[in-house]
Amino acid sequence: MGAQTSRTDEWADVTPDAARRLLAAGVAAFAERGYHATTTRDIAGRAGMSPAALYIHYRTKEELLYRISGVGHRLALDILCRARDGAGTPAERLAEAVRRFVRWHAEHHTTARVVQYELGALGEEHRAEIVALRRETDAAVRSIIEDGVASGDFDVPDVRGTALAVLSLCVDVARWFNAAGERTPAEVGDLYADLVLRMAGHPGPSPRPA
Amino acid sequence: MGAQTSRTDEWADVTPDAARRLLAAGVAAFAERGYHATTTRDIAGRAGMSPAALYIHYRTKEELLYRISGVGHRLALDILCRARDGAGTPAERLAEAVRRFVRWHAEHHTTARVVQYELGALGEEHRAEIVALRRETDAAVRSIIEDGVASGDFDVPDVRGTALAVLSLCVDVARWFNAAGERTPAEVGDLYADLVLRMAGHPGPSPRPA
DNA sequence: GTCCGCCCTAAGCGCTCGCTCAGGCCCGGG
DNA sequence: CCCGGGCCTGAGCGAGCGCTTAGGGCGGAC
């Protein structure tokens, strides 16, 4: 009946309670039907409120999407930055980045779907702000690959193109992942870490950090 | 002003002329704004007609999407089937499949975007029909990889998962590819053929068919 | 010339959308 | 006790939606 919350609440620091419930309801609705096919009545209903209540906490339906998008992008970016700045060889860091990033996209695939595929529904300035976050995401992946090329761990003729492909591959997990499917988020993360190291020309199985 | 047509017209065999123009206008509009954010007035306007004209050739807006989706999926599936059934080693066939498939997704990225990302907007029976086509697509890729594993050309521990990842990687090109960007469709196809062979554990550069 | 059938348009119907507004409940401070 | 502000609801506005309907123009058969 109520909003479908994720297992570890990603919106824990949003207050007041009603605003948080609306956010979670928005994520569920947008992920299921898409932004434009979702009505404010549907969102409010999932949160157990009347349609008018939405406008006490958010100025428009678009602002609700913007908040979701901002929180989601920052969480995903954080995962990559931590891996980039962590200890270990470039191969360990790339494997760890992909493993965690993919796992997040699988576990929170409803949020990730909204974050990755409803960007076009944002207004002009809000979209520009989110696109900037995305460029940082891209730079983080590229940076790890560059480290590996410099150290000789990787063999990558086209660093920009490979970084783009790696990110594209990981992000698309949100589209096809199904919680009722046969693979757990952790399994997909491990598989993808392996595939990405192969793309980077790293010999042997994907290493775990020490 | 008029509908934006692709360089090689993919809708050549759709008649009458007005129906084809509406299809092309629908593709352009859906790709730009998404199905739900597109109005029938917008589609008709791009085709240079009044809103009512749409309903002479298509029963509903959803049927227009269904036609687009059907034609697009069949074109993409055809590319993979031809590569699967072609001559050459598994590595040559996989490289060729990816090269052509990716190139199509880049060249026709507006069509591909609609085909890949607006599936959820289809009605129940129409969606089931399209999903069946998609399963064939998946099977074609898996089949080539299985051939390579059997012949010893590939080293793939998880065939199902790798096939899924390969397809996901290729399909997502439609999302990020930008015609004004720095890479041509052919360049992206070559890069991706290389990356996919690495994912399949094939040593050396991606071979061209004889 | 006359008529028929195909394409098309102008006008508009019924509906649902995002969003607003006047007012009610409830809880903490005096 | 009363009051005031934060949170919420019921009712509904104006707009734009998908789609329909009545009829006009026009080219080919006779």
Statement: the CB of B39 is under 7 Å from strand C: no
- pLDDT-derived band at A4 (thresholds 50, 70, 90) equals very low
CB B146 under 7 Å to nucleic chain D: no
Residue B163 scores a pLDDT above 90: yes
Residue A30: predicted pLDDT: 97
pLDDT band at residue A3 under the 50/70/90 scheme: very low
Kindly state the average pLDDT of the residues B84-106.
Answer: 96
User: Predicted confidence band at B209 (pLDDT cuts at 50, 70, 90)?
Assistant: low
Rounded Cα–Cα distance for residues A57 and A127 (Å) = 21
Q: Which of A36, A175, A199 sits opposite B199 (nearest CB)?
A: A199
Chain segment A45-69, per-residue pLDDT in tens = 999 999 999 999 999 999 999 999 9
pLDDT at B118 over 70: yes
Domain map (residue ranges) of chain B: 17-58, 62-199
> For chain B, what is the mean pLDDT?
92
Distance CA B75, CA B174 (A): 15
Q: Is B201–A198 a contact, with Cβ atoms under 8 angstroms apart?
A: yes
The Cα–Cα gap between A114 and A27 comes to 7
Is residue B14 very low, low, confident or very high in pLDDT (cuts 50, 70, 90)? Answer: confident
Q: How far apart are CA A75 and CA A10, in angstroms?
A: 9
As a whole number of angstroms, the distance between CA B141 and CA B135 comes to 10
Question: Measured between beta carbons, which residues in chain B are less than 8 angstroms from residue A36?
Answer: 34, 36-37
Measured CA A172 to C1' D17 distance, in angstroms: 32
Query: Given this model, what pLDDT does residue A148 score?
Result: 97
Shortest Cα–Cα distance, B82 to chain A (Å): 25
User: CATH top-level class for B17-58?
Assistant: mainly alpha
As to burial, measured by CB atoms within 10 angstroms (0-12 exposed, 13-18 middle, 19+ buried), residue A183 is middle
Q: Is A183 on the interface with B (CB under 8 A)?
A: yes
- Which residue would you say has higher pLDDT here, B136 or B10? B136
Residues of B in contact with A145 (CB under 8 A): none
Residues of chain A contacting residue B176, judged by C-beta atoms under 8 Å apart: 164, 168
Residue B6 has pLDDT above 70, yes or no: no
CATH node for B62-199: 1.10.357.10
Nucleotides of strand C within 7 Å of the protein's CB atoms: 7-12, 16-22
Residue B2 has pLDDT above 90, yes or no: no
Q: Interhelix angle for A159-171 vs A185-199, to 10°?
A: 170
pLDDT digits (tens, 9 = 90+) for A89-107: 999 999 999 999 999 999 9
Residue range B157-178: mean pLDDT, rounded: 96
pLDDT tens-place string over residues A114-142 = 999 999 999 999 999 999 999 999 999 99
Q: Is residue B131 within 8 Å of residue B115, measured between CB atoms?
A: no
The structure tokens listed for A92 are 């360990």
